[in-house]
Amino acid sequence: MHVYLETERLILRRFTESDADDLFALDNDPDVMRYLNGGAPTPREVIDERVLPRLIAGGFFAALEKPAGRFLGWFHLRTVEGRPPDELELGYRLRKEAWGRGFATEGSVALIDKAFAELGAGRVFAQTMAVNLGSRRVMEKCGLRFARTFQIDWPDPIEGSEQGEVEYELLRSAWEAARS
């Protein structure tokens, strides 16, 4: 197992082919997918042929709860095409059973610290639907601040998409000031 990062309660490791069943369950929970595709199920072949290969390719990490190693979901910390290489995008998708227990904040804070302390990031940002108040609260708890609201022309709009997307950010200077 290639461990990328550990926190008090989490192990973040690279994805492998053996994660397909856990990803299928995660992406087929309508509550988990509510702000991503309106809660529609993800066919198994999409998990096997598109989702899992993308996660294995890099920047995505399976989140396991210590000590038992139970799959909770995933986090990502990655560069985004068209953005400067020192800007890293933070994201997460966790099982409903993990919500409200501080895992999203714990994993995100650890990844933010790694981004600035080890990876040379100048900026970390995260995006979600404006109506996704739970995810927005996690971003704020992690020290990210509201940067902008923007619109995306989705081919299949879902409830709440008319309110747009939001981006939160943390700049290196603000991270350094908070650590002083």
At 112-155, the pLDDT tens digits run 999 999 999 999 999 999 999 999 999 999 999 999 999 998 88
CB 77 within 8 A of CB 115: yes
Position 28 confidence tier, pLDDT thresholds 50, 70, 90: very high
d(CA 31, CA 39): 6
Rounded distance between C-alpha atoms, residue 136 and residue 36, angstroms = 14
pTM above 0.85, yes or no: yes
- 127: nearest Cα among 172, 81, 79, 92: 92
Beta partners for 171? 123
Q: Using pLDDT thresholds of 50, 70 and 90, give the confidence band for residue 95.
A: very high
What is the arithmetic mean of pLDDT over 71-93? 97
| Preceding amide of 67 cis, omega within 30 | yes
Could you tell me if 25 and 98 are in contact, meaning their C-beta atoms sit under 8 angstroms apart?
no
Kindly report, residue by residue over 61-73, the tens digit of the pLDDT.
999 999 999 999 9
